[in-house]
Structure formats: structure tokens, C-alpha cells
Amino acid sequence: MKSYFQLVQSINEAVATKRKPFDAAAFDAKQKAKYGSAMAKAAADALAASQKKKAAISPKQPFPWMQNNKMIPGWWHPTKGWFSFSLDGAGYHVTQIVKNPQKFGISESELLKAAQKEADRGMWSNSSREEQGLPPVDAKEILRLIRIEDIDNSFPISTLAYQRGWVRVYGGKFHTGDWGGTLEGTDKKSIKAAIREIEQVAEMSNIDDIRVDVTERGTTGDYFPKMMAVLSSKVKRDAYMRS
């Protein structure tokens, strides 16, 4: 006669013998049949969210440097991106700053102060303007003249963008007649970053012979360039990048 514990053990062994092994494939099929549409939607939503996130952090598209027989003006920044514009009706580089100072991180008060520096440069004869029935040249008049494209450049105003890392650029064939770009700014790190992008675009386009014109300006208000260089070879560009 079996003891109580032997009887319990016999029952457990019998149950274990009759129990079917776990069928993973059957379980997955059952779950899919039960939750298929909901799980598919969740998976699709997760994939879309992942792709959107990937697109948001993907490297920005390069500026259109390599353009044949075209001159592409614009503003370039190593972290904030870039934008280009047409010289036909869209104004000049300084026009973009005056019309959209917030795009460059410039406040209205800073813009007015820089415009007053432009007005104080001594290039304007207010007595002559008064005889012609024109208003005196002050900060507001400078900004008005820039907006209507009567002024095509202003170093005090452009400096506001330069100091924030923006580089005044041209892509394509400019006065150089060569592939590459024309760069102007006060932030040397930004200028070097632009050169690296130009070289990468040239490599992807299988263009070996490029030229980059660089103009470094000071931040003291002096209109005349601090340094100008024509980087028409890899050797010259490498030397500039090391400087």
C-alpha cells in the first residue's frame, strides 16, 4: 500500500506525462489571431515614429555649392543650417538680416544700434539731403533704405550675424569662375566648417578642382578685411585649416 506522499508523487508524474510540451509557434499564431490588427498598427506606429526621429537627427543637406554657371547667395551656419535666396527681387545679404533679424538671433534693439553705427559712418550729407527734401539719415532711415535695396551692404549690421557664427556665402561659379564657394565672416571655426562641407560636396560630385575664396573680418567695426585668401588647392586649404 502506497503512503500518502507516494500517492501524491504518482499523481504528479501522471499529470506531467500527459501534459503537452509548450508549442511556441502555436502560441504565436494564437496571439497573432487574437491581437493581429492591433499589434500590426502598434508596430507600424512605432516604425513611423522611429523613422521620423531618424529624419529629425539626420545630417542636414549641404548648401548648393557645386552649381554650374550659377551664383547662389545665402547665409550658412555650422549648427543652425543655411538658406539661399535669389538676387532678383529678394534683396542682398544685408536685406535678409533686416527683414528677418530673428532668423539670425538678432533683437530689434541690436539691429537699431548697428544701423545707427552705419548712419554715423560719415558717408551721408544730411544738409544735402535736406535740400532735396529727404529725411536725415538715422538708424530707421538706414533700415528703410536697406529694405528697399538702396543700400546693398552694411558692415555693422552684417557683423551682428557674423558674431553669431553665420557666414555670408556664395555657392557655384562666382567672380572666381571656378567650382567652390565664397565665404565671409568673423568666426573662423564657422568658416572652416563651411570649407569642410564644400570639400565633401566636391568629393561626392567627383569634382577635384575647386576654389574657395575666404574673407575674414575683424569685430572692431573696421570695414576693411582682416584677411583674404584664395584657397585654390588642397595644399592651401589644408594650411588654412591648420591655422
| Average pLDDT score over residue span 139-150 | 95
Cell of 20: 503537452
43 with 99, same domain? Answer: no
Res. 43 pLDDT band, cuts 50 70 90: low
Res. 64 pLDDT band, cuts 50 70 90: very high
Residue pLDDT, tens place only, 94-131: 999 999 999 999 999 999 999 999 998 867 666 666 77
pLDDT at position 142 is 95
**Total count of domains within the chain:** 2
42 with 160, same domain? Answer: no
pLDDT at position 198 is 95
- Cα separation of 178 and 1, whole Å? 105
129 with 164, same domain? Answer: yes
Say if pTM beats, i.e. exceeds, 0.75: no
41 with 140, same domain? Answer: no
Q: For 166-198, give the DSSP string.
A: -EEEEEES-TT-SEEEEEEES-HHHHHHHHHHH
